[in-house]
Structure 1
Amino acid sequence: MWNHVNTRQLALKILGLRCHKHSRACVGLLGEKPQRSEYKHCRLCSTSAPPWRILFFGTDDFALESLKSLTATRGTNESVVASLEVVALSNNVPVKKFADQNGLPVHIWPVVDLQGRFDVGVVVSFGCLLKERLIRQFPLGILNVHPSLLPRWRGPAPVFHTVLHGDATTGVTIMQIRPCRFDVGPILRQETYSVPTHCTADQLGATLATRGAHLLMDTLKTLPERLANKVEQNQTGATSAPKISISMSWVSWEDQTCGEIDRLFRAIGSRIPLRTLWMGKTIKLLDFVGKCDISLSGTKLQFQKSHGRPPIPGSIIYLKMSNTLAVCCKDDWVGFKAVVLKKRLSAADFYNGYMHHGLTGKPSHQPEQCLFISNRTETSKGTELKETIA
């Protein structure tokens, strides 16, 4: 049989004002009609403990790890997710495809009126600034999973800059979004991680995606407590992590050491091939093998006798035994197994076709034909990739 309490509970649910079953503030004392202040308190009751109604904003594979973790907890006894919906930038991103496959409601950006439908938002690798009027529609605000130890590496490409600059330590941060600015909000949780030696940005990003998803779930379990103890970011040590640009791929043989070229390749090599100039033409450098051991008494000396000069940055030697092009840089030599000049060429093909006179069997004595040239003009430009790399 329905009574006044049940009727009021149903009415509150229809209004989107979820209440706890035994909340006195929701039903009024002894079944009395709740006052306006009690309705406000009822709204607070609905966001005092999990499970939460969550709206997830994301795009790429990094974001997908957090979405998978949120999806996996639905319906379990200790779930922190009451409901889960997704905001995507387009129909062709991994987050949108996963949501469709798993029956999650999807909204294509931008979204407008969400008032009363969600408790908290979660943003992971989304790439769009959120305005204050959107953030205010979430009683517990909007959280962000960021793959760095903020305030270091604020911006869209923290993982790439971590590898590029040789950071020994990184981590993940759970922070609260502030309107109209990236990565400046208060910190709820942080976890450090030692960067493995010689790891690539792709490898590091995959690891941090998993760790970030775990940290997000732990944060949601005790979210009110975490919000009460959030800490504002220290401006000291803040650094910027802008989008990866094509201009970064040009190797400067005179200025960059073996270690710097190695980090550049591990940071961007899977997305953008390293580049140099060969007789005025752009050449892409592939299959980087790191530092090459060129002894002074062997190949270097032979090069000097053949060309009448000691090797200078950009000088090229073909190492037949390992089928490698060794290139002189600021402090030593680095090697590549293949290049692209009109088409992909192995080191042997490039040597035979461009560095060596195949008909006479004599090496070229023209200095420019055994030299890679740094492109000073292109390295000064800031032509950015259209895609957002997080």
Structure 2
Amino acid sequence: MKKNKCQAVFFGTPDFAVPSLEALSKASAKGGQAFCNIKTVVTQPDKPVGRHQSKPVPSSVKQACQRLKLPVLEGLDSLKDVEADLGIVVAYGEILPKWLLDHFPLGIVNVHPSLLPKYRGPSPIQAAILNQDKETGVTLIKLDDKIDHGLIVAQENHPLTPSWVQEGGRFSGHTFLSLTPPPLPRRGLGGGPSAGQLHDHLSQIGADMLIKYLPDYIAGKIKLKPQDDSKASYTKKLTKQDGKIDWKKSPQEIEAHVRAMNPWPGAWTMWRGKRLIIWKASLNRHPERSEAESRDLIVYPRDFGQRLTSLWLASTPACPEYARGGRNDVLNFEEVQLEGKKKMPFAEFAKGHPEFLNTTFFF
């Protein structure tokens, strides 16, 4: 007797979920009995966006469903009458109720962009960059009634360094089965991808992992592993205030902060009563600074044979704890945006605002 194909409900809302939905839809169309069929998709209701918020806009997942011709539901109550074997959650944006966890015979599989139990919660990508981790990854878990706590279905590690670049369609031994990921950038000292770049990359790794592991999960061939709660750490939902630059920190920490806050909320500081967002920055080693000078904290221009618009975190004995920065590093601003203005290269901004080059940032 021929077994019926697994029926699945997909839960997702933002851009991060779209690659997974596309990959599952494609696999369902040509995967035969080994894979699941997307019976319906659940997403958050249309919401106003933009400065004026005048017109509700459908979620990225809803727009993808319209393109893929998949049925869409908004809200969870309507699922009580939907019969399906499996739930798949990718950034749905809401904690699922207990009754729904019990609704699917095969449970609910969730895609989380960290190496669980590290960085449970809503901002794991930013946390990995802020903490200057050497690696990150994606974890598939079977959801339970605690946040990002469920049994591990699969987990893949990926280095998080400036040398993480694409070579022949592979990233550090990982072959992409469903999609071609964007290459991650090479940067100067410190360096690495922004949160936006890492978000896009991990979203496609998550999609690939669903295609790779779901057939065996559905067939009961994967041994689920409990998370080690003693190693758990948690992240919070970011606010605009989290983007504020703390000038007491080292150049390395500030450069990581700039990447972690891009694209939202943006790493910012106040200058002449206006918010100045630093969208891109990089580190370089100053050839002449002594170890004593590296303890300094005023920001001012220094031409040492590179760009005239380089900024140097330099010179005030008022902040001895800055010594923990340790190295002769120069923080270069590369792209900025003054409140009410457009993004621009820092050289262009400095040309239009030469007074900025004598700025001291107080804290």
Query: Normalization by structure 1: what TM-score?
Result: 0.69
Work out the CA distance in 1 between the residues paired with 2:79 and 2:218.
24
**Following TM superposition, by how much is the alpha carbon of 1:231 offset from its aligned partner in structure 2, in angstroms?**
1.5
Q: Does 1:313 align with 2:305?
A: no
CA apart distance, 1:341: 5.4
Q: Distance in 2 between matches of 1:145 and 1:355?
A: 44
- Is the aligned partner of 1:89 residue 2:28? no
Q: Do the aligned partners of 2:298 and 2:360 also contact (CA within 8 Å) in 1?
A: yes
The reply on whether 1:288 has 2:242 as its aligned counterpart is no
**Post-superposition offset of 1:72:** 0.2
Task: Judge which range, 314-323 or 146-155, deviates more.
Answer: 314-323
SS in 2 for 1:346: helix
1:3 is aligned to none
Unaligned runs of 5+ in 2: 47-57, 163-191, 315-321, 343-347
Q: Secondary structure of the residue that 1:333 maps to in structure 2? A: strand
What residue is the counterpart of 2:352 in the other structure?
A: 349
Contact kept in structure 1, 2:25 and 2:38, CA below 8 Å: no
- Cα deviation for residue 218 of structure 1 reads 2.5
Q: Find the counterpart in structure 1 of residue 254 from structure 2.
A: 261
User: SS of the residue aligned with 1:264?
Assistant: helix
Residue 316 of structure 1 contacts residue 328 of structure 1 at CA under 8 Å; is this kept in 2?
Answer: yes
**Aligned residues, how many?**
302
- Aligned in 2, Cα 1:286/1:119: closer, same or farther, shift over 3 Å? same
Moved more, 208-217 or 55-64: 208-217
Instruction: State the partner residue of 1:110.
Output: 76
Q: Say if 1:122 and 1:250 are closer, same or farther in 2 by CA, change over 3 A.
A: same
2:173 maps to what in 1?
A: none
Q: Which moved more, 1:216-225 or 1:323-332?
A: 323-332
Q: 1:126-155 CA distances to partner (integer Å, 9 max, x unpaired)?
A: 121111111211111111011111100101
Name the CA shift for 1:355/1:153 in 2 (closer, same or farther; >3 Å): closer
SS at match of 1:114: helix
Closer/same/farther in 2, CA of residues 71 and 350 from structure 1, 3 Å limit: same
Instruction: Give the AA of the match of 1:211.
Output: I
Query: 1:263, 1:145 → 2: CA distance?
Result: 25
Residues 372, 115 of structure 1: CA spacing in aligned structure 2 closer, same or farther, 3 A cutoff? same
Matched residues in 2 for 1:153 and 1:333: separation?
Answer: 30
Secondary structure at the aligned position of 1:143 is classed as strand
Tell me if the contact between 1:58 and 1:87 (Cα under 8 Å) persists in the aligned partners: yes
Residue 231 of structure 2 aligns to a residue whose secondary structure is coil
In 2, Cα distance between equivalents of 1:297 and 1:104? 60
The structure-2 alpha-carbon separation of the partners of 1:355 and 1:71, relative to structure 1 and needing over 3 Å to count, comes to: closer
Alpha-carbon distance, 1:167 to partner: 1.2
SS in 2 for 1:205: helix
Q: 1:225 to 1:318 in 2, by over 3 A?
A: same
Do structure 1's residue 98 and structure 2's residue 71 form an aligned pair? no
What are the Cα deviations for residues 75-96 of structure 1, in whole angstroms up to 9, with x where unaligned? 3253512343100102321110
1:155 matched to which residue of 2?
A: 121
Who is 1:63 aligned against?
A: 17
SS of 2:361's equivalent? coil
Matched, 1:191 2:156: yes
2:121 aligned partner, one-letter code? G
Contact 1:115–1:138 at 8 Å: present in 2 too? no
One-letter amino acid of the counterpart of residue 234, structure 1: D
* Partner residue in 1 for 2:109: 143
Alignment partner of 1:333 out of 319, 322, 330? 330
> Where in structure 1 are there 5+ consecutive unaligned residues?
1-19, 22-44, 302-309, 357-368, 375-390
How far the C-alpha of 1:346 sits from its partner, in A, is 0.6
Displacement over 6 Å in runs of 4+: none
For residues 148 and 42 of structure 2, what CA distance do their matches in structure 1 show?
19
SS of 1:144's equivalent in the other structure is strand
The one-character-per-residue Cα deviations of 1:320-371 (angstroms, maximum 9, x if unpaired) are 97252514164443122445155457112221xx358xxxxxxxxxxxx631
Seen in structure 2, the aligned counterparts of structure 1 residues 214 and 64 have a Cα distance that, compared at 3 Å, is same
Change (3 A) 1:84 1:235: same
Contact 2:27 2:211 in 1 (8 A): no
Query: Is the CA contact (8 Å cut-off) linking 1:316 and 1:372 kept in structure 2?
Result: no
> Distance in 2 between the 1:191 and 1:297 partners?
41
Distance in 1 between residues matched to 2:123 and 2:308, nearest whole Å: 34
**Identical pairs, percent:** 25
What is the letter of the counterpart of residue 246 of structure 1? K
Alignment CA distance shift 1:297-1:162 (3 Å): closer
Q: Say what the alpha-carbon RMSD is for the aligned residues.
A: 2.9
Deviation at 1:288, TM superposition (A): 3.2
The aligned residue for residue 234 of structure 1 is 228
Distance 1:341 1:174, change over 3 A: closer
Contact kept in structure 1, 2:268 and 2:276, CA below 8 Å = yes
- TM-score, length basis structure 2: 0.74
Q: Separation in 1 of the partners of 2:42 and 2:340?
A: 42
Q: Counterpart in 1 of 2:85?
A: 119
Measured after TM superposition, the shift of residue 69 of structure 1 is: 0.9
Change beyond 3 A, Cα 1:348–1:342: same
Cα deviation, residue 159, structure 1? 1.2
Give the distance between the partners of 1:264 and 1:152, measured in 2 at CA: 19
Q: Which amino acid aligns with 2:278?
A: L
